[in-house]
Every structure is written in structure tokens, then in C-alpha cells.
Amino acid sequence: LTVEKKIDKHLLPPKKIIGKNSKSLVEKRQKELEVYLQTLLSRFPTSTPK
């Protein structure tokens, strides 16, 4: 997506190595991924499955 559709690769939240299973980090990453997915859906509404 970053090359073909010119999506900024920094929109995707980075992976965590240390403490990756802590509840607060999991919840934070979940929220960041939700924002990322919503951004993709808003930029490509016709690409979503029906």
C-alpha cells in the first residue's frame, strides 16, 4: 500500500518488542490500529468488500 497507493508508512503503528503483552500496550496498539484501518477505509471506500 505504501508504494502502490501512496499511503504514508508511518500511519501504521510500530510493533513493540519489550512489554508487548502488557495490557496497556495491547490496548494502545489496538486503538492505533483502529485509527489506521479507519484511515484506509476513508481513503479507499470503493475498495471495501460488500
pLDDT tens-digit readout, 7-25: 777 777 777 666 667 888 8
Using CA atoms, how far apart are residues 2 and 22, in angstroms rounded to an integer?
Answer: 29
Given this model, what pLDDT does residue 34 score?
92
Mean pLDDT of the chain: 78
What is the pTM (predicted TM-score) of this model? 0.59
Q: How confident is the model at residue 50 (pLDDT cuts 50, 70, 90)?
A: low
Sign of CA dihedral 40, 41, 43, 47: positive
